[in-house]
Amino acid sequence: GENVEQHPSTLSVQEGDSAVIKCTYSDSASNYFPWYKQELGKRPQLIIDIRSNVGEKKDQRIAVTLNKTAKHFSLHITETQPEDSAVYFCAGTTGNQFYFGTGTSLTVIP
């Protein structure tokens, strides 16, 4: 089955700096890659996603890039704010099962 690895496990940045979280996947058949944000004590919520026919997608301060050849995708957050502090999960799927990374705990220091 698919194996999704996520790095780093923890990340601290100064407010206003950028944050980058990287994930790799093993199954070349995976075609959908969502990113979820989970604030402390809250449910995970989708923040951005990308399909395998697209190389990059942007939504305001958040962007995701996908390199199908290298089988990796990344989340980029620019101009970080304290409310960006949360755990971020990447995932990959071929459609019938989601495989999640182990999460990145992001702390934005004011």
Residues forming contacts to another protein in the complex (CB under 8 A) are 6, 9, 32, 34, 36, 42-46, 49, 89, 91, 93, 95-103
Closest approach, Cβ 65 to another protein, in A, equals 19
Nearer residue to another protein within complex by CB, 68 or 98? 98
Tokens at residue 74, please? Answer: 């990344």
CB count in 10 Å sphere of residue 49 = 15
Closest approach, Cβ 64 to another protein, in A, equals 14
Half-sphere exposure of 39 (CA within 13 A, CB side): 8
Tokens 């620019």 belong to which residue?
Answer: 78
Nearer residue to another protein within complex by CB, 90 or 108? 90
Say which amino acid occupies 8: P
